[in-house]
Amino acid sequence: MEEYVITVKETNNKAILKFEANQFLTVSKNYEFKNIDEAKASPLAQQLFYLPFIKTVYISGNFIALERFDIVEWEDVKDEVAQQLVEYLNSGAPILIEEAPKSAVAVTVYAEVTPNPAVIKFVANKKLVPATFEFKNIDEAKDSELARALFHFPFVKEVFMDENYISVTKFEMADWDEITMELREMIRNHIAEGKEIVSNKAESTQIKNQESIVKVNPDDETSQQIIQILEEYVKPAVAMDGGNILFQSYDEEDKTVNVILQGACSGCPSSTFTLKNGIETMLKNMLGDKVAEVVAING
Protein backbone atom coordinates (compact mmCIF):
# COMPACT_ATOMS: atom_id res chain seq x y z
CA MET A 1 0.00 0.00 0.00
CA GLU A 2 1.32 3.43 -0.95
CA GLU A 3 2.40 5.50 2.02
CA TYR A 4 0.86 8.86 2.71
CA VAL A 5 2.89 11.96 2.02
CA ILE A 6 1.78 15.38 3.26
CA THR A 7 2.53 18.66 1.51
CA VAL A 8 1.89 21.89 3.41
CA LYS A 9 0.26 24.70 1.43
CA GLU A 10 -0.69 28.20 2.47
CA THR A 11 -4.15 29.67 1.86
CA ASN A 12 -5.47 33.22 1.50
CA ASN A 13 -6.42 33.09 5.17
CA LYS A 14 -3.33 33.33 7.38
CA ALA A 15 -5.09 31.41 10.15
CA ILE A 16 -5.76 28.41 7.88
CA LEU A 17 -3.13 26.03 6.56
CA LYS A 18 -3.76 23.26 4.07
CA PHE A 19 -2.18 19.82 4.50
CA GLU A 20 -2.46 18.06 1.15
CA ALA A 21 -2.11 14.28 0.89
CA ASN A 22 -1.01 12.21 -2.10
CA GLN A 23 -4.17 10.08 -1.75
CA PHE A 24 -7.85 10.79 -1.27
CA LEU A 25 -9.00 10.98 2.34
CA THR A 26 -12.71 11.19 1.59
CA VAL A 27 -14.53 10.75 -1.69
CA SER A 28 -18.09 11.98 -1.63
CA LYS A 29 -18.39 14.34 1.34
CA ASN A 30 -16.76 17.38 2.91
CA TYR A 31 -16.48 17.66 6.68
CA GLU A 32 -16.10 20.58 9.05
CA PHE A 33 -15.59 20.16 12.79
CA LYS A 34 -15.58 23.07 15.24
CA ASN A 35 -14.67 21.08 18.35
CA ILE A 36 -13.87 17.59 19.59
CA ASP A 37 -17.51 16.78 20.32
CA GLU A 38 -18.53 17.54 16.74
CA ALA A 39 -15.68 15.32 15.54
CA LYS A 40 -17.14 12.03 16.79
CA ALA A 41 -17.31 10.82 13.20
CA SER A 42 -13.58 11.42 12.67
CA PRO A 43 -10.94 9.90 14.99
CA LEU A 44 -8.31 11.87 13.07
CA ALA A 45 -10.05 15.19 13.71
CA GLN A 46 -10.49 14.28 17.37
CA GLN A 47 -6.76 13.68 17.70
CA LEU A 48 -6.00 17.02 16.06
CA PHE A 49 -8.20 18.82 18.59
CA TYR A 50 -5.86 17.66 21.34
CA LEU A 51 -3.48 20.26 19.94
CA PRO A 52 -4.43 23.36 21.96
CA PHE A 53 -4.13 25.74 19.02
CA ILE A 54 -6.52 23.92 16.65
CA LYS A 55 -9.77 25.86 16.19
CA THR A 56 -11.41 24.13 13.20
CA VAL A 57 -10.72 20.99 11.16
CA TYR A 58 -11.81 20.65 7.52
CA ILE A 59 -11.51 17.34 5.66
CA SER A 60 -12.23 17.28 1.94
CA GLY A 61 -11.00 15.21 -0.97
CA ASN A 62 -7.24 14.77 -0.56
CA PHE A 63 -6.54 17.47 2.01
CA ILE A 64 -7.03 18.55 5.59
CA ALA A 65 -7.29 22.27 6.30
CA LEU A 66 -6.69 23.46 9.84
CA GLU A 67 -7.66 26.79 11.35
CA ARG A 68 -5.57 27.91 14.33
CA PHE A 69 -6.18 30.13 17.31
CA ASP A 70 -3.97 33.21 17.58
CA ILE A 71 -1.86 31.72 20.38
CA VAL A 72 0.67 30.36 17.84
CA GLU A 73 2.00 31.03 14.36
CA TRP A 74 1.84 28.29 11.73
CA GLU A 75 5.51 28.74 10.99
CA ASP A 76 6.30 27.43 14.47
CA VAL A 77 4.09 24.32 14.42
CA LYS A 78 3.31 23.33 10.80
CA ASP A 79 6.10 20.75 10.51
CA GLU A 80 5.08 19.10 13.76
CA VAL A 81 1.45 18.92 12.60
CA ALA A 82 2.43 17.55 9.18
CA GLN A 83 4.54 14.84 10.81
CA GLN A 84 1.68 13.91 13.14
CA LEU A 85 -0.67 13.59 10.16
CA VAL A 86 1.79 11.38 8.26
CA GLU A 87 2.23 9.06 11.23
CA TYR A 88 -1.52 8.83 11.83
CA LEU A 89 -2.44 8.19 8.20
CA ASN A 90 0.26 5.55 7.71
CA SER A 91 -0.76 3.77 10.91
CA GLY A 92 -3.95 2.62 9.19
CA ALA A 93 -6.16 4.27 11.82
CA PRO A 94 -9.55 5.42 10.50
CA ILE A 95 -9.92 8.91 9.11
CA LEU A 96 -13.70 8.88 9.23
CA ILE A 97 -16.28 6.54 10.66
CA GLU A 98 -19.18 6.75 8.27
CA GLU A 99 -22.37 4.93 9.20
CA ALA A 100 -23.49 2.53 6.54
CA PRO A 101 -26.67 3.88 5.00
CA LYS A 102 -29.70 2.04 6.24
CA SER A 103 -31.34 0.21 3.41
CA ALA A 104 -34.85 1.45 2.98
CA VAL A 105 -37.49 -1.20 3.40
CA ALA A 106 -40.00 -0.93 0.61
CA VAL A 107 -43.57 -0.55 1.82
CA THR A 108 -45.91 -3.11 0.37
CA VAL A 109 -49.68 -3.18 0.70
CA TYR A 110 -51.91 -5.89 -0.66
CA ALA A 111 -55.69 -6.13 -0.79
CA GLU A 112 -57.43 -9.09 0.80
CA VAL A 113 -61.09 -9.99 0.48
CA THR A 114 -63.12 -10.55 3.64
CA PRO A 115 -66.33 -12.48 4.38
CA ASN A 116 -68.09 -9.12 4.25
CA PRO A 117 -68.59 -8.15 0.57
CA ALA A 118 -68.67 -4.46 1.53
CA VAL A 119 -65.21 -4.59 3.14
CA ILE A 120 -61.70 -5.01 1.76
CA LYS A 121 -58.70 -5.47 4.04
CA PHE A 122 -55.47 -3.67 3.03
CA VAL A 123 -52.49 -5.36 4.68
CA ALA A 124 -49.08 -3.68 5.03
CA ASN A 125 -45.68 -5.26 5.66
CA LYS A 126 -45.15 -3.14 8.78
CA LYS A 127 -47.00 -2.20 11.94
CA LEU A 128 -49.27 0.78 11.39
CA VAL A 129 -51.11 1.45 14.65
CA PRO A 130 -50.62 0.54 18.33
CA ALA A 131 -54.28 -0.35 18.92
CA THR A 132 -57.60 -0.77 17.12
CA PHE A 133 -59.30 2.31 15.70
CA GLU A 134 -62.73 2.60 14.13
CA PHE A 135 -63.95 5.66 12.25
CA LYS A 136 -67.57 5.81 11.10
CA ASN A 137 -67.23 9.17 9.34
CA ILE A 138 -64.78 11.97 8.63
CA ASP A 139 -65.72 13.84 11.82
CA GLU A 140 -64.62 10.87 13.92
CA ALA A 141 -61.35 10.78 11.95
CA LYS A 142 -60.09 14.19 13.08
CA ASP A 143 -57.08 12.57 14.79
CA SER A 144 -56.17 10.29 11.88
CA GLU A 145 -54.63 11.85 8.79
CA LEU A 146 -54.91 8.62 6.81
CA ALA A 147 -58.55 8.01 7.73
CA ARG A 148 -59.44 11.59 6.77
CA ALA A 149 -57.74 11.12 3.42
CA LEU A 150 -59.70 7.91 2.84
CA PHE A 151 -63.01 9.60 3.64
CA HIS A 152 -62.36 12.06 0.83
CA PHE A 153 -63.19 9.21 -1.53
CA PRO A 154 -66.99 9.43 -1.95
CA PHE A 155 -67.34 5.65 -1.87
CA VAL A 156 -65.65 5.14 1.53
CA LYS A 157 -68.21 4.54 4.27
CA GLU A 158 -66.10 3.41 7.26
CA VAL A 159 -62.44 2.86 8.16
CA PHE A 160 -61.09 0.35 10.66
CA MET A 161 -57.41 0.01 11.64
CA ASP A 162 -55.60 -2.67 13.61
CA GLU A 163 -51.92 -3.64 13.85
CA ASN A 164 -50.74 -3.89 10.22
CA TYR A 165 -53.98 -3.57 8.26
CA ILE A 166 -56.76 -1.18 7.34
CA SER A 167 -60.28 -2.38 6.57
CA VAL A 168 -62.30 -0.10 4.33
CA THR A 169 -66.09 -0.36 4.11
CA LYS A 170 -67.60 0.99 0.89
CA PHE A 171 -71.02 2.28 -0.08
CA GLU A 172 -72.97 0.15 -2.56
CA MET A 173 -72.48 2.81 -5.26
CA ALA A 174 -68.96 1.53 -6.01
CA ASP A 175 -67.56 -1.76 -7.25
CA TRP A 176 -64.37 -3.16 -5.71
CA ASP A 177 -62.95 -3.99 -9.13
CA GLU A 178 -62.95 -0.29 -9.95
CA ILE A 179 -61.63 1.19 -6.69
CA THR A 180 -59.36 -1.38 -5.00
CA MET A 181 -56.19 -0.43 -6.88
CA GLU A 182 -56.74 3.28 -6.27
CA LEU A 183 -57.24 2.73 -2.54
CA ARG A 184 -54.26 0.39 -2.26
CA GLU A 185 -51.91 2.86 -3.95
CA MET A 186 -53.19 5.75 -1.87
CA ILE A 187 -52.63 3.82 1.38
CA ARG A 188 -49.20 2.57 0.28
CA ASN A 189 -48.02 6.05 -0.72
CA HIS A 190 -49.28 7.54 2.54
CA ILE A 191 -47.30 4.99 4.55
CA ALA A 192 -44.18 5.17 2.35
CA GLU A 193 -44.05 8.96 2.65
CA GLY A 194 -44.00 8.67 6.43
CA LYS A 195 -47.24 10.54 6.90
CA GLU A 196 -49.18 10.21 10.13
CA ILE A 197 -51.54 7.25 10.48
CA VAL A 198 -53.09 8.21 13.81
CA SER A 199 -52.03 10.85 16.32
CA ASN A 200 -51.14 10.24 19.96
CA LYS A 201 -54.39 11.96 20.85
CA ALA A 202 -56.31 9.39 18.82
CA GLU A 203 -54.84 6.57 20.90
CA SER A 204 -55.87 8.11 24.22
CA THR A 205 -59.32 8.95 22.83
CA GLN A 206 -59.78 5.38 21.61
CA ILE A 207 -58.86 3.96 25.01
CA LYS A 208 -61.38 6.25 26.71
CA ASN A 209 -64.07 5.29 24.20
CA GLN A 210 -63.51 1.58 24.76
CA GLU A 211 -63.51 2.05 28.52
CA SER A 212 -66.88 3.79 28.24
CA ILE A 213 -68.26 0.94 26.09
CA VAL A 214 -67.14 -1.96 28.25
CA LYS A 215 -69.26 -2.47 31.35
CA VAL A 216 -67.47 -4.84 33.69
CA ASN A 217 -67.83 -5.22 37.42
CA PRO A 218 -64.31 -5.91 38.76
CA ASP A 219 -65.83 -8.56 41.03
CA ASP A 220 -67.65 -10.28 38.16
CA GLU A 221 -65.55 -13.38 37.55
CA THR A 222 -67.66 -14.58 34.62
CA SER A 223 -67.18 -11.33 32.69
CA GLN A 224 -63.44 -11.57 33.23
CA GLN A 225 -63.45 -15.14 31.92
CA ILE A 226 -65.47 -14.13 28.85
CA ILE A 227 -63.06 -11.28 28.07
CA GLN A 228 -60.09 -13.63 28.39
CA ILE A 229 -61.66 -16.17 26.02
CA LEU A 230 -62.52 -13.48 23.46
CA GLU A 231 -58.98 -12.06 23.62
CA GLU A 232 -57.24 -15.41 23.35
CA TYR A 233 -59.42 -17.37 20.93
CA VAL A 234 -61.82 -15.09 19.08
CA LYS A 235 -60.01 -11.82 18.35
CA PRO A 236 -57.09 -13.38 16.43
CA ALA A 237 -59.56 -15.24 14.20
CA VAL A 238 -61.76 -12.24 13.39
CA ALA A 239 -58.68 -10.06 12.86
CA MET A 240 -57.68 -12.37 10.01
CA ASP A 241 -60.97 -11.39 8.36
CA GLY A 242 -60.32 -7.68 8.89
CA GLY A 243 -62.56 -7.23 11.91
CA ASN A 244 -62.65 -7.01 15.67
CA ILE A 245 -64.93 -7.95 18.55
CA LEU A 246 -65.32 -6.07 21.83
CA PHE A 247 -66.92 -7.35 25.00
CA GLN A 248 -69.67 -4.92 26.02
CA SER A 249 -71.48 -6.51 28.95
CA TYR A 250 -72.71 -9.70 30.60
CA ASP A 251 -76.16 -10.09 32.14
CA GLU A 252 -75.93 -12.60 34.96
CA GLU A 253 -79.70 -13.03 35.19
CA ASP A 254 -80.47 -14.05 31.61
CA LYS A 255 -76.86 -15.16 30.93
CA THR A 256 -76.57 -12.99 27.81
CA VAL A 257 -73.20 -11.79 26.51
CA ASN A 258 -73.34 -8.53 24.57
CA VAL A 259 -70.54 -7.80 22.13
CA ILE A 260 -69.69 -5.08 19.61
CA LEU A 261 -68.53 -5.99 16.12
CA GLN A 262 -66.07 -3.74 14.30
CA GLY A 263 -64.43 -3.54 10.89
CA ALA A 264 -65.36 -6.29 8.45
CA CYS A 265 -67.43 -8.04 11.14
CA SER A 266 -69.85 -5.13 11.44
CA GLY A 267 -72.78 -5.67 9.10
CA CYS A 268 -71.28 -8.85 7.69
CA PRO A 269 -73.94 -11.28 6.37
CA SER A 270 -72.13 -14.20 8.02
CA SER A 271 -71.71 -12.49 11.40
CA THR A 272 -74.88 -14.11 12.80
CA PHE A 273 -73.58 -17.56 11.86
CA THR A 274 -70.19 -16.74 13.41
CA LEU A 275 -71.81 -15.51 16.61
CA LYS A 276 -74.16 -18.47 17.05
CA ASN A 277 -72.09 -21.35 15.71
CA GLY A 278 -68.69 -20.04 16.65
CA ILE A 279 -68.45 -17.65 19.57
CA GLU A 280 -71.63 -18.66 21.38
CA THR A 281 -70.84 -22.37 21.08
CA MET A 282 -67.29 -21.81 22.32
CA LEU A 283 -68.41 -19.83 25.38
CA LYS A 284 -71.06 -22.43 26.23
CA ASN A 285 -68.51 -25.23 25.96
CA MET A 286 -65.95 -23.40 28.09
CA LEU A 287 -68.25 -21.76 30.65
CA GLY A 288 -71.15 -24.20 30.75
CA ASP A 289 -74.54 -22.89 31.84
CA LYS A 290 -73.12 -19.44 32.62
CA VAL A 291 -73.78 -18.43 29.00
CA ALA A 292 -77.13 -18.79 27.23
CA GLU A 293 -76.75 -16.41 24.29
CA VAL A 294 -74.30 -14.06 22.56
CA VAL A 295 -75.77 -10.93 21.01
CA ALA A 296 -74.08 -8.32 18.82
CA ILE A 297 -75.63 -5.03 19.87
CA ASN A 298 -74.61 -3.49 16.55
CA GLY A 299 -74.91 -6.62 14.42
pLDDT band at 211 (very low <50, low <70, confident <90, very high): low
Lowest-confidence pick of 4-8, 84-88, 195-199, 294-298: 294-298
Question: pLDDT tens digits, residue range 188-201?
Answer: 999 998 888 988 77
Q: Which domains, and CATH codes, for the chain?
A: 6-90 (3.30.1370.70), 109-202 (3.30.1370.70), 214-296 (3.30.300.130)
How confident is the model over 64-115, as pLDDT tens digits? 999 999 999 999 999 999 999 999 999 989 998 865 454 456 889 999 998 8
Residue 117: predicted pLDDT? 92
Most confident of 112-116, 148-152, 248-252, 276-280: 148-152
Q: Would you say the pTM of this structure is higher than 0.75?
A: no
Flag whether pLDDT at 258 surpasses 60. Answer: yes
**Would you state the pLDDT for residue 16?**
94
> What percentage of the chain has pLDDT greater than the value 90?
46
pLDDT band of 61, cuts 50, 70, 90 = confident
**pLDDT, tens digit, for every residue of 21-48?**
998 888 767 889 999 998 988 999 999 9
- b/e code 9-40 from CB counts within 10 Å (16+ = b): eeeeeeebbbbebeeebbeeeebebeeeebbe
